[in-house]
Amino acid sequence: MNDLEQRLTEALTEGSQGAPSAIGLASAARSRARRKRQTRLAGVAALVVLAVGVPAAVVALTGDGDVRGADVASTDSAGATMDGFHWESWHDVTVQVPDSWQYGSLSDWCAGGGELAPRIQRPDTVADDIQCDPQSSYGITFQEIPNRDDFEWPVVAQTGKGWPDPNVVGGRGIGGVLITVATREPDLAHQILDSMRPIGPQGDPNGCAARYTPGSTNPPEGALSVCRYDENGELEQSAALFGKQAGDAVRTLQAAPEAGECADTSQGSQPHQIVILEAPGISAKVDLVSGCPRLTVDGDVRELNEAVAGVAVLAAWGGSRQGMALPPELRTE
């Protein structure tokens, strides 16, 4: 460590002594946890930001720009999937998204000379540290928010450097999950927002439960369900593979070689991501444990090699590692 780094360490350590007292911290956290259901949308100011520039006619149509309560039905009555769309899920909600939308961060769209192609961004999406202009591409983001009431933000054009031109941006919250959609056309934004609904007891349209429990996957007919859960067992991502893609994935899983022992099993007991792949006749689970990722196929422990990762796991999401939160063994730089 050089002189600057040493002084920086000392400065930060010394400065940290100005931190507030921890007295009452636990009870304050309990109070906040209790208030989460009643807390107003934190960022009512964010609503003000979205409402800037709302034309008078739009304000009149939506009742002075007030948020309107969302009339939601669960996925138990999801209805048909629109042509050219598929279902994307996160935690307790699912929404239809155009098939052409890629996975990745909206903020690093310009990395590697990229274009303003719409993207699907989740909280764990890996993003390059790069300043793009405009700052955000089109697409959809998922976020957890304190307000668990159902609400909608109006779909309005945004000005400034934050968003591409032309644009409309809207949002919708259900049960503590906020999705924000930015598109070129209002109709598309409304189609996406209107399709959003909570995941019911039968799971999302891809067959994945909102929270993982063994046996909770319910694949649609003829499909291989692929469900990714975070370390808390909450649904991060889901997909349903059909036809040749499903057949290739099943054959790859069944052909995966037996696994040897890992050199480092110390992280196995830590909470970690898992991926469930299930169809009639096959049930597989991937434990994404750093240092010792594991594949289990119908109870047999197999090797999670590149072929399995690429064909069976990542195929569910376009075959790309872009934006995926993976343990080091499955990442590429």
Query: Contact positions toward another protein, by CB under 8 A?
Result: 2-5, 7-22, 25-26, 28-30, 32-33, 36, 42-43, 45-46, 48-49, 123-129, 141, 143, 145, 232, 266, 269-271, 290, 325, 328, 331, 333
d(CA 239, CA 121): 15
Judged by CB, which is closer to another protein: 85, or 229? 229
Least distance to another protein from the beta carbon of 205, Å? 26
Determine the Cα angle at 57 with ends 51 and 58, to 5°: 40
d(CA 3, CA 229): 44
Least distance to another protein from the beta carbon of 300, Å? 27
Least distance to another protein from the beta carbon of 247, Å? 33
Judged by CB, which is closer to another protein: 35, or 251? 35
Whether the Cβ atoms of residue 81 and residue 185 lie closer than 8 Å to each other: no
In 10 A of CB 17, how many CB atoms? 6
d(CA 169, CA 166): 10
Tokens 């893609």 found at: 245
Least distance to another protein from the beta carbon of 13, Å? 7
d(CA 275, CA 206): 14
Least distance to another protein from the beta carbon of 317, Å? 16
Judged by CB, which is closer to another protein: 13, or 100? 13
Judged by CB, which is closer to another protein: 25, or 117? 25
- Bin 203: left if φ > 0, else alpha if -120 < ψ < 50, else beta: left
Tokens 């808390």 found at: 232
Judged by CB, which is closer to another protein: 42, or 72? 42
110: Cα separation from own chain's centroid = 21
Least distance to another protein from the beta carbon of 74, Å? 22
Judged by CB, which is closer to another protein: 81, or 232? 232
Least distance to another protein from the beta carbon of 328, Å? 8
Q: Where are the alpha helices (DSSP H) in 91-242?
A: 186-195
Judged by CB, which is closer to another protein: 81, or 265? 265
DSSP 138: S
- Give me the half-sphere count of Cα atoms (radius 13 Å) on the Cβ side of residue 138: 22
Judged by CB, which is closer to another protein: 258, or 333? 333
d(CA 331, CA 66): 45
Least distance to another protein from the beta carbon of 151, Å? 15
Q: How many separate helices (H) and strands (E) can be counted in the chain?
A: 7, 15
Judged by CB, which is closer to another protein: 39, or 245? 39
Residue type, 185: E
Peptide bond into 166 cis (omega under 30): yes
Least distance to another protein from the beta carbon of 150, Å? 18
| Backbone φ, ψ for residue 14 (5° rounding) | -65, -45
